[in-house]
Amino acid sequence: LIIDAVSWRILADDLCRLYQGERLGNKGSSYRQWVAALEGDGCKNQEEKEYWNGVMSDYIPINASLKTTVSHSVDLSFTKSLTSRLLHESGKAYNTQINDILLTALGLSLSELTGHWVHHVVLEGHGREEINAEIDVSRTLGWFTTLFPVRIEVCQDLVLSLKRVKDAQRQIPQHGVGYGALFGYEQNSLPEISFNYLGQLDKGSVNDWDLCSDAVGETNDPLNRDTYLFNLNGWVSEGHLQFNIVSRLPEAALSVVTDKFTVYLKALVEHTASQSRTYLTCSDVEQVVAQDYLDRLQEHQELEAVYKASSLQQGFIYHALTQGDTDEAYRVQISWHYKSAIDKSKLKEAWHYAQRKYPALRLRFAWEEQMLQVVDKESRLNWNYIECADEAEIQDLKARDRLSAYDLSESGLFRVTLIKQHASHYTCIFNNHHAILDGWGVAVLLDYVHETYKRLCADEVIESSEDVGYLETQKYIQTTGSDKFYWEGYLSQLDERVCLDGLVKPGLRDVVVSEYKYIHKTQEQQLVLSQSLKIDLILLSQERGVTLNAILQYAWHKVLSVYGYSRQTTVGTVISGRNLPIDNLEQSAGLYINTVPLIVNHDERKIIDVIQQIQEDINEANSHSKVNLAELQSSGERLFDTLFVYENYPVSQSFTHDQGLNICIDEVVEKLDYPLALVAYNKDENFSLSLKYTEDLFSQDIIEMILTVFQSVLSELINKTSFKSTELKYLNDNKITLGFNHNYLQYSDAKNLVKTFESQVQRNPDGIAISHGKLKYTYQELNKKSNQFAHYL
């Protein structure tokens, strides 16, 4: 009990190095340090203790009629062919390890003896797991071997039995290293059956040093008898899988187990080694789905991974199921021109490389039991090539492309159309569902495609590794839990909703914007800030230590508070979602963004204090991006009717640097599912904003007025950040005189003034109706006061 099998290999390796005059490596942790760390870890791990109690909860000892006091020993040896297939071919089909297959064969053979489908077995582990980062016993001599119980559940189905055994093995915490520290090894506390696969004993031979197979006599004292009813030890030596079985079963019973073990092992190896593809099991997908559902998902298509759909993806799925055939929202179309000759076959090949590299391009979704994102190993590239010189036909083609819906249950939720207009002029249309890519990801993707195309044209070998950042992000989100608790606390301050009903077209005064769900047709209005205003804003952000994003957010909230007569405004803010402890996310393509609420209180604080609070809230939002917006809208009512998007991700190098392709952007078309959305672009020399709006609700005049006020607020706050937020003018005196006196509106003759006022009270009871100095009345308060006064009269 002072040295284990791994230690023998370490010792032989060290002796060989010293014999050959080499120096040994650095000294690792001591055996005493490992024991102390193990005991300390075990004492504080209540969750692991509950796991082990669960494993043994249905343990039943083997019937006494199958026990004798006489020990029998049996040796088994398997052919080199079977051994080779077990070692090198059997693990691919179900992502299994050798132990999974051997334990399944053992469980099935035990069922032949006992008639039970559940068995409990003691396994041995090498014990050299990483307990903490400070302990390294990889080259330490000692007895590190650990014992721990496992529960093996099998059934009549060979493959299902293997899946169950494999998944149970993957649930074992730290490969069982903590069991001894938690429970010890008291006699009769462990199952009566022991299994130990030692691996390939002659695999690690060092130079000319090999294990000697000569007999060495007795290695155990005759009085040193173990307490196991059935003890099975296996290894591979000289290319043969071999087992030694010592048992106190009757000889006939022992023969049943060994014979059936041989039969089942051969059947398992034959089945697994002959499969042409891989099948995932529950442990491969972090137990997010049951095996029968997982089998349906991979029945016709080999899978790489399955994850829960992200919060934004869940919203997209819901939209697609309810409005996907009639609403083109969340289909993003980007078109650009190549002012050069293009090798269409090489460009198509570059897109194939991109699809293999980026898992997001092989995504599909499922929602029968829960909303899932499914990553296929391979996916068809939706590529179209057309020769067309007529510009009107191209515009018609783009319009039809935007109207073409996606089936979210089919992988490859994007399409590429290359149009040859003439020998040195091509147009490319890239369309994707927003559920697979955000703007940052599109820029990364297009850079990769065009760089790969250039290399293919130069006959270079393309070596490209998979974008594991996206896969690691999904795992991280699933294992770290939601930030819902933070957002519930943040939303507790919400006590007023901004009302935008006063902005709708005159003939739609009865429309309630917050209840308007389906956006039929959208338009957008552009605003390009002057260079002088842009420079002033940049200087302000630098002097005050805030971002341009925070300043623009403040101005947008201020505009909404003006038109909504609200002391508190809530806007949906789009965050990057890439502020995670995962490497190389800046080069990953996928959907990382999320939309979260940002609340601003318009009170007596200084403007700069409000902006700094916005900055702090944005930082916190980025640190707490793992939340499903639908969970925060428990009542089913939207938290906000407007979005603010600050586009600060890297622009695709394809459109900013000449790569010999002479690429120039044509247009980007994306329809959002909110009545109003302000998008800020800070690109190159220009600082522009685009106000996207639903044409059904808002007139162009109103939108232009909103942008005018927005620009005025920005101009005013430059030198007035120390003013109170309530003191900021949103129009200069000239614009107030000229603009606000042109206020003729049509109104319905069916309503008198009283009825019109009462309708406004119902729509916006908490909005400010009148104010004078510090005195303010909401519509509800004013209605109550007017009724009291009427009764008095």
Positions of E strands within 445-552 = 522-528
pLDDT tens figures, 80-96 = 999 999 999 999 999 99
pLDDT tens figures, 723-734 = 888 888 776 555
Supply the pLDDT for residue 738: 46
- What's the DSSP call for residue 723? S
CB 627 within 8 A of CB 482: yes
d(CA 563, CA 559): 6
- Quick one: which H or E segment has residue 677? strand 676-683
What is the crossing angle of helices 531-544 and 700-717, to 10°?
Answer: 50
- What's the DSSP call for residue 711? H
Residue found by looking up tokens 């039995």 in the block = 161
d(CA 67, CA 187): 17
What is the crossing angle of helices 531-544 and 548-564, to 10°?
Answer: 110
Supply the pLDDT for residue 299: 95
> Residue 563: how many CB atoms within 10 A of its CB?
18
Residue found by looking up tokens 């399944």 in the block = 104
Residue 242: which residues within 8 A CB-CB, separation 6 or more?
75, 76, 77, 78, 234, 235, 236
Supply the pLDDT for residue 785: 78
Instruction: State the number of CA atoms in the 13 A half-sphere of 445 facing the CB.
Output: 25
d(CA 470, CA 587): 10
Residue 136 pairs with which residues in a beta bridge?
Answer: none
Task: Tell me the helix, strand and coil percentages in the chain, rounded to 5.
Answer: 40, 20, 40
Is residue 183 over pLDDT 90?
A: no
- The pLDDT mean for the chain works out to 89
Is residue 599 over pLDDT 50?
A: yes
Candidate CATH numbers 3.40.190.10, 3.30.559.30, 3.90.1300.10, 3.40.30.10; the one for domain 5-206+227-276: 3.30.559.30
Enter the tokens of residue 758.
């009462």
737 confidence band (pLDDT: 50, 70, 90) = very low
Residue 201: which residues within 8 A CB-CB, separation 6 or more?
211, 235, 236, 237
- pTM of the predicted protein model: 0.83
Residue 71: which residues within 8 A CB-CB, separation 6 or more?
225, 246, 247, 248
Instruction: State the number of CA atoms in the 13 A half-sphere of 418 facing the CB.
Output: 21
As a whole number of Å, the CA-based R_g of the chain is: 35
Residue 569 pairs with which residues in a beta bridge?
Answer: 600
Between residues 182 and 347, the one the model is more confident about: 347
Share of the chain above pLDDT 70, in %: 91
pLDDT tens figures, 192-207 = 999 999 888 776 555 6
Q: Name the nearest CA neighbour of 622 among 680, 550, 569, 691.
A: 550
d(CA 76, CA 244): 6
pLDDT tens figures, 318-344 = 888 887 677 788 999 999 999 999 999
> Looking at 132-136, 346-350, 526-530, which range is the least confident one?
132-136
Residue 715: which residues within 8 A CB-CB, separation 6 or more?
533
CATH 3.30.559.30 fits 489-582+590-650+670-739, yes or no: yes
- Quick one: which H or E segment has residue 241? strand 240-247
pLDDT tens figures, 424-477 = 999 999 999 999 999 999 999 999 999 999 999 999 999 889 999 999 999 999
Residue 643 pairs with which residues in a beta bridge?
Answer: 572, 677
Share of the chain above pLDDT 90, in %: 61
Positions of E strands within 388-461 = 414-422, 425-433
> Residue 59: how many CB atoms within 10 A of its CB?
14
Most confident among 404-408, 511-515, 754-758 (mean pLDDT): 404-408
Supply the pLDDT for residue 174: 86
The residue extents of the domains of the chain are: 5-206+227-276, 302-476, 489-582+590-650+670-739, 747-793
What is the crossing angle of helices 607-623 and 548-564, to 10°?
Answer: 110
Q: Name the nearest CA neighbour of 541 among 528, 532, 550, 553.
A: 550
Residue 417 pairs with which residues in a beta bridge?
Answer: 384, 429
| Residues listed for the chain | 793
Between residues 196 and 145, the one the model is more confident about: 196
Supply the pLDDT for residue 741: 53
H-only helix segments in 89-223: 98-114, 158-170, 179-183
Sheet containing 663-670, strands listed edge to edge, beginning at the edge strand earlier in sequence: 383-387, 414-422, 425-433, 331-338, 663-670
Q: Tell me which CATH homologous superfamily contains domain 302-476.
A: Chloramphenicol acetyltransferase-like domain (3.30.559.10)
Residue 747: which residues within 8 A CB-CB, separation 6 or more?
506, 509, 756
- Judging by DSSP bridges, how do beta strands 568-575 and 146-153 pair with one another? unpaired
- Quick one: which H or E segment has residue 334? strand 331-338
Is residue 275 over pLDDT 70?
A: yes
d(CA 576, CA 592): 6
pLDDT tens figures, 302-317 = 999 999 999 899 989 9
AA identity, residue 270: E
d(CA 125, CA 198): 9
Q: What are phi and psi of 731, to 5 degrees?
A: -145, 145
- Quick one: which H or E segment has residue 688? strand 686-694
CB 627 within 8 A of CB 483: yes
